[in-house]
Amino acid sequence: MPKPDLDDLDRRLLAELGADARLTQVALAARVGLSRSAVQERLKRLEREGVILGYTLRLGFEAKPGVRAYLLVRGSGPSHERALRMLEAFPEVRVADSVSGDIDLVLQLEAERLEDLNRIRDEVAKLPGIASTQTLLVMAPRFDRR
């Protein structure tokens, strides 16, 4: 899919929604100086082009039950990409970031119990293309700017 062309109004709409995704189209229109129908059309286009993937609810730290961890993953050989595709099947893997350095991937894991994290870690370590893993358990959340 080609990279969409965003103009200044698109970027302003995205910034406003990034700050408060609950804004109505009328409020968005007033903030960016467009009509409601023009905002509606732009949002539909941004959704269709994959710029806006969805609207979501983010819970505060206290509302998130369970445990979180980071799994540092070193890949091996050509099956590394295959392992990455297989990781998408694990709902506990919330984010997978490719990074530079000795580590190939940093996975953010969320699970109900520590035993669940252990199971996921063990399953990931067995995937073809995974050379090694290291687990960093989140002891206490401090802040989240997302």
Q: Is the pLDDT of residue 117 over 80?
A: yes
Q: Which domains, ranges and CATH numbers included, belong to the chain?
A: 8-48 (1.10.10.10), 61-137 (3.30.70.920)
Nearest C-alpha neighbor of 111 from the set 101, 99, 123, 119 = 119
pLDDT band for 85, please (50, 70, 90 cuts).
confident
Determine the Cα–Cα distance for residues 129 and 104; give it in Å rounded to an integer: 11
Q: Cα dihedral sign for 51, 57, 61, 67?
A: negative
Query: Whole-prediction pTM value?
Result: 0.63
pLDDT of residue 24: 93
Residue 64 confidence (pLDDT): 61
CB 109 within 8 A of CB 124: no
What is the pLDDT at residue 73? 94
Which pLDDT tens digit goes with each residue over 15-54?
899 888 889 999 999 999 999 999 999 999 999 999 998 8
Residues 59, 146: Cα–Cα separation, whole Å: 11
DSSP-derived 3-state class of residue 14:
helix
> Strand, coil or helix: what is 73?
strand
Task: Determine the average pLDDT of the residues in 65-85.
Answer: 84
The C-alpha atoms of residue 100 and residue 14 are separated, in whole angstroms, by 29
Which tens digit of pLDDT belongs to each residue from 45-70? Answer: 999 999 998 887 766 656 566 899 99
